[in-house]
Amino acid sequence: MHPPNETAAPPPGSHSRDLHWMERALELARMGTALASPNPRVGCVLVSPDGRCVGEGWHSYDQRDHAEIVALRAAGEQARGATAYVTLEPCSHTGRTGPCALALQHAGVARVVVATEDPNPRVAGNGLRMLREAGIAVDCGTGLHAARRLNEGFARWIQTGMPFVTQKVALSLDGRIAPQPGLPGQGPFWITSEESRFTVQQMRHAADAVLTGIGTILADDPLLTDRSGAPRRRNLLRVILDSTLRLPLAAQVVQSADGDLVVCTVSQDEERVALLRGLGVEVQQFSPGVHGRLPLASVLEWLGQRQILDVMTECGSHLNGALLAQGLVDRCTCFVAPVILGAHALPAWGARDAADAAAAGNLSGMVSPNTPTEASESIQLPQARWSASGPDACCSALLRDPWPAEPVD
């Protein structure tokens, strides 16, 4: 599947050599983006004692074989005595395939370097233990942070059944996401740059579902499709939260529905439900939550049951605020543009009414217990990372780490 690279020479020194080959394994793992889910993205490189890559592979769900098996097949007899660099702990159980830890042992691999342990409770250190008991040298932790970032969705889902939620927000310097509503001649308004919008397409490609509210559909009539051009095994699931089924039949999302559009509602208007279903729209009805609204946690739990690991939200002010207030956001990624929209423009996070405002007290629950805060309405983001995105600035912050606190090794 992936021919070995006979010419690549790692830099001298044991630690630098491990980093070099783990970076290659991570590069391979990224090839599984949108192709491995609901399994994790994993890459593997086999390196001979004299420093040559003799086999490599990555996992694609439809191809069944795990990355280690693909690499072992490419290496053949050259796997004996080799070092395996794997971005995730080799599995120790039989699922769709046999245990990779056992396959590495039978192939005669002498050493295994693992980026991170598997968050799957069925594995969780057992693969490392199996390798060590077979006399194979094992090192864990090289490339840990990059490997964990790659599989945040899998870590969250495999332990809780809930998807990992990334809240994407494009906003102005003064924290606004759209101009004042109701202005004459107003249409869709781009706040951020082409570079930021390109990055958003990459984020959509990495997600299993994109979620928004009916307000965004009515205001902007978006398509919400993955336009990255990269391959994916499942269409990006487009999820619309619409309590009263106001979704226009002529909306772009409806007209382009192809088994990839779900409307979540508490409405019992069966005539309207039938109309939407007749246009190829899946309608999922929920029991009303507080104040008769859609129960957001139940929607996410239902998505998890559909093997949706990563959900990206692209919402308006009220839904942004509700998701955050209810503690349902795992990562917040903001694209901040060098523009000021003014006090009458829509804020990035808002409350519809007193009930929403009261729920904002839950914001403090999103903060790490080790993070001191004075007021419940603020959230400290100690893990925030800033980067440039054309003329914009991108801030991505992890609000809740889905991974176990400490590696097994």
Q: What are the residue numbers of the active site?
A: 68
Which of 235, 43, 229 shows the shortest CA–CA distance to 150?
43
Q: How many CB atoms lie within 10 A of CB 161?
A: 11
Between 14-30 and 67-75, two packed helices, what is the crossing angle to 10 degrees? 110
Tokens of 249: 């039949």
Side chain identity, residue 222: P
Tabulate helix, strand, coil % of the chain (nearest 5): 30, 20, 50
The residues pairing with 394 across neighbouring beta strands, listed in sequence order, are 335, 387
* Residues 6+ away with beta carbon under 8 Å from 196: 170, 335, 337, 389, 390, 392, 394
* CA angle at 169 for the pair 164 and 175, rounded to the nearest 5°: 140
Tokens of 83: 């070092």
Backbone angles phi, psi at 297, to 5 degrees: -65, -35
**DSSP secondary structure, 106-124, as one string:** HTT--EEEESS----TTTT
Task: Report the SS3 class of residue 178.
Answer: strand
